[in-house]
């Protein structure tokens, strides 16, 4: 019995059939060269047809701008902002307009700046409204009537300052004397017809100082002319004080108080000094250096136990009570 041979079917090659040989490969095979096996290629991707999408603009939608950051160029000059004030006059020796107005007694420098900004000043017929300009000393300066009306509304107040209050800026533990200027502290016998208004406190400033341990007449004003007359560098207004002292004073020391004394390396102006009574001296000064009378008395061996200012120029303290105030009358002059 013959044994049959089982023939298995050849496996089916399910891979992608090799590509046909190129003419060069076929020629090499004929010549006996073995052609390199073809590199199997991945199956081709199924092409997908791209459908174009039409962009539909939204009506009224804003277009966002992309900011472009400025990159500074190294070494490029930086342009400076324009000055806030006017450039200097071509002649730097000429004074500024505000200073010249103050020197002529028209107003204070602060008032001059305000008037210039408001257009109330004319120089040689031309309006000037810019701060910082320089003008010739012989320039003709005209002031608008509005400025004069504004100046006429400014007030000056006389206060009888008590001990314990400072004249100007507040100090730790002490109040400035201006807090006493309120309706309830107005002197009942004030002859002025003015009615107190809150605007009377606006820009109200002390024209001079009075030590915290001193009492007496302290002047507050809105008028720059008054302030300049009382505390200006060229002020010649007399201020009279009554000073209680302890100690002895000989004729030589009395003469030194009247003339020849120096404070802080500055020679003092001549003063009027005399005995009011056995314990009290009367000083009349034409200047007001810090704690001047107390330091003068210390130089000659006297101790000041009380100091009161009773007059500034032609305006006396009078019977104004301590802690109360009144308006300067129109007929009064420092």
Read off the pLDDT of residues 271-319 as tens digits, 9 standing for 90 and up.
999 999 999 999 999 998 889 999 999 999 999 999 999 999 999 999 9
Indicate if the pLDDT at residue 241 is higher than 60: yes
Q: What pLDDT, on the 0 to 100 scale, is given for residue 83?
A: 42
Domain with CATH 3.10.290.10 in the chain: 97-151
Q: What pLDDT, on the 0 to 100 scale, is given for residue 113?
A: 86
Q: What pLDDT, on the 0 to 100 scale, is given for residue 87?
A: 43
Which residues, in sequence order, are CB contacts of 161 under 8 Å at separation 6+?
167, 177, 180, 210, 214, 215, 216, 217, 218
Give the residue with greater pLDDT, 222 vs 84: 222
User: CATH number of the domain at 153-237+313-334, out of 3.40.309.10, 1.10.150.170, 3.30.70.580, 3.40.50.10950?
Assistant: 3.30.70.580
Domain with CATH 3.30.70.1560 in the chain: 238-312
What gap in Å lies between CA 38 and CA 25, rounded to an integer?
Answer: 10
b (16+ CB within 10 A) / e for 260-271: ebeeeeeebeeb
Contact 236, 287 (CB under 8 A): no
> What is the token pair recorded at 278?
């056995």
Indicate if the pLDDT at residue 48 is higher than 60: no
148, 154, 158, 163 alpha-carbon torsion, rounded to 10°:
-130
DSSP string for residues in 7-41: PPPPPP--SPPPPPPPHHHHHHHHTTPPPPPPPPP
Q: Which of 63, 201, 83 is nearest to 133 (CA)?
A: 83
Interhelix angle 109-117/224-231, rounded to 10 degrees, is 160
Over residues 181-196, the mean pLDDT reads 95
Indicate if the pLDDT at residue 61 is higher than 80: no
Over residues 203-227, the mean pLDDT reads 93
Q: Percent of the chain beyond pLDDT 90?
A: 47
Kindly report which listed range (4-8, 23-27, 208-212) carries the lowest average pLDDT score: 4-8
Contact 306, 216 (CB under 8 A): no
What gap in Å lies between CA 214 and CA 201, rounded to an integer?
Answer: 23
Helix (H) / strand (E) element for 225: namely helix 224-231
211 given a catalytic annotation: yes
Over residues 1-27, the mean pLDDT reads 57
> What is the token pair recorded at 18?
């090799």
Per DSSP, the chain holds a count of helices (H) and strands (E) of 7, 14
DSSP string for residues in 147-184: HHHHHHT--EEEEEEPTT-BSSS-BTTB-BGGGG-SGG
Domain with CATH 3.30.70.580 in the chain: 153-237+313-334
Helix (H) / strand (E) element for 284: namely strand 280-285
Most confident of the following: 139-143, 165-169, 216-220: 216-220
Contact 116, 129 (CB under 8 A): yes
In CATH terms, the superfamily for domain 97-151 is RNA-binding S4 domain (3.10.290.10)
Give the residue with greater pLDDT, 321 vs 3: 321
Indicate if the pLDDT at residue 160 is higher than 70: yes
Over residues 98-106, the mean pLDDT reads 86
What gap in Å lies between CA 302 and CA 256, rounded to an integer?
Answer: 13
Over residues 233-247, the mean pLDDT reads 92
CATH of span 238-312: 3.30.70.1560
Evaluate if pTM is beyond 0.85: no
How many C-beta atoms surround the C-beta of residue 316 within 10 A? 14
Which residues, in sequence order, are CB contacts of 287 under 8 Å at separation 6+?
235, 268, 269
Give the residue with greater pLDDT, 145 vs 28: 145
- Residue tagged active-site, from 113, 211, 213, 264: 211
Indicate if the pLDDT at residue 82 is higher than 50: no
Helix (H) / strand (E) element for 227: namely helix 224-231
Q: What pLDDT, on the 0 to 100 scale, is given for residue 15?
A: 53
Measured CA distances, 17 to 38, 41, 45, 218, 246 (Å): 11, 10, 17, 119, 133
Which residues, in sequence order, are CB contacts of 187 under 8 Å at separation 6+?
320, 321, 324, 325, 326
Indicate if the pLDDT at residue 240 is higher than 70: yes
Indicate if the pLDDT at residue 124 is higher than 50: yes
Which residues, in sequence order, are CB contacts of 160 under 8 Å at separation 6+?
215, 216, 217, 218, 317, 320, 321, 322, 323, 324, 325
């Amino acid at each position: 019995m013959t044994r049959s041979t089982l023939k298995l079917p050849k496996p089916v090659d399910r891979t992608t059939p090799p590509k046909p040989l190129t003419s060069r490969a076929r020629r090499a095979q004929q010549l006996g060269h073995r052609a390199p096996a073809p590199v199997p290629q991945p199956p081709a991707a199924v092409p997908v047809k791209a459908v174009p999408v039409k962009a539909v603009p939204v009506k009224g939608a804003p277009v966002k701008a992309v900011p472009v950051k400025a990159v500074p160029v190294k070494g490029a000059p930086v342009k400076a902002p324009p000055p806030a004030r006017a450039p200097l006059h071509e002649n730097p020796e000429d004074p500024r307009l505000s200073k010249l107005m103050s020197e002529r007694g028209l107003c204070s420098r602060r008032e001059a700046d305000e008037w210039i900004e408001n257009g109330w000043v004319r120089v040689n017929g031309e309006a000037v409204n810019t701060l910082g300009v320089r003008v010739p000393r012989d320039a003709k300066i005209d002031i608008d009537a509005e400025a004069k009306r504004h100046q006429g509304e400014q007030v000056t107040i006389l206060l009888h300052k008590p001990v314990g209050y400072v004249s100007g800026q507040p100090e730790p533990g002490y109040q400035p004397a201006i807090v006493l200027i309120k309706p309830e502290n107005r002197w009942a016998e004030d002859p002025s017809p003015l009615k107190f208004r809150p605007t009377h406190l606006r820009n109200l400033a002390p024209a001079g100082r009075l030590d915290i341990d001193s009492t007496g007449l302290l002047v507050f004003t809105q008028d720059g002319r008054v302030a300049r007359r009382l505390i200006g560098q060229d002020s010649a207004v007399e201020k009279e004080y009554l000073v209680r002292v302890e100690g002895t004073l000989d004729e030589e020391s009395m003469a030194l108080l009247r003339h020849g004394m120096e404070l802080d390396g500055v020679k003092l102006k001549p003063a009027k000094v005399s005995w009011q009574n056995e314990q009290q001296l009367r000083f009349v000064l034409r200047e007001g250096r810090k704690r001047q009378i107390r330091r003068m008395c210390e130089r000659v061996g006297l101790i000041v136990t009380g100091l009161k200012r009773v007059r500034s120029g032609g305006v006396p303290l009078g019977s104004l009570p301590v802690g109360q105030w009144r308006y300067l009358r129109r007929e009064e002059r420092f």
